[in-house]
Amino acid sequence: MELNEILAGNIDQEKGVWFDIVDPFNGEPICIRFRVAGPDSETQRKARLALSDELAELADENGKVSAENREKARLNCLARCVLGFEIQEDGKPIPFNHANVVRVLKAGTWLQEQVDSAAGDRSLFQGDAA
């Protein structure tokens, strides 16, 4: 593999990939879709840097960050990896923005787990899969 192939793959990961959220009990799609940037994308690199900055800002005078604040920062980081979503509330599409991504992700740990899994799965970004 040559460097230009690696860099091209990173650019493809920046475009993101759509995936369906599935019911955690029966594995059936539930009409919610997310588009996430790949693990080697610039979007995820910036999300990790923002996580570090956020944790530094949340640290107390001894450098400690509470569990609650760490969880908030983790969720913000995950939300920054989301490039789009398709989800409705009261029969209307929820507008895509960071605050709404966080709100949707807070609805269930199982949602967070599926988004996190897709965001870290390089195989989703191979060739025609993206």
The pLDDT of residue 9 is: 66
Q: What is the pTM of this model?
A: 0.90
Q: pLDDT tens digits, residue range 111-125?
A: 999 999 999 999 998
Q: Residue 57 and residue 11: Cα distance in Å, rounded? A: 31
The domain segmentation of the chain, as residue ranges, is: 3-129
Residue 79's contacts (CB-CB under 8 Å, 6 or more residues apart) are 98, 101, 102, 105
Say if residue 127 is exposed, middle or buried (CB neighbours under 10 Å; 0-12, 13-18, 19+).
Answer: exposed
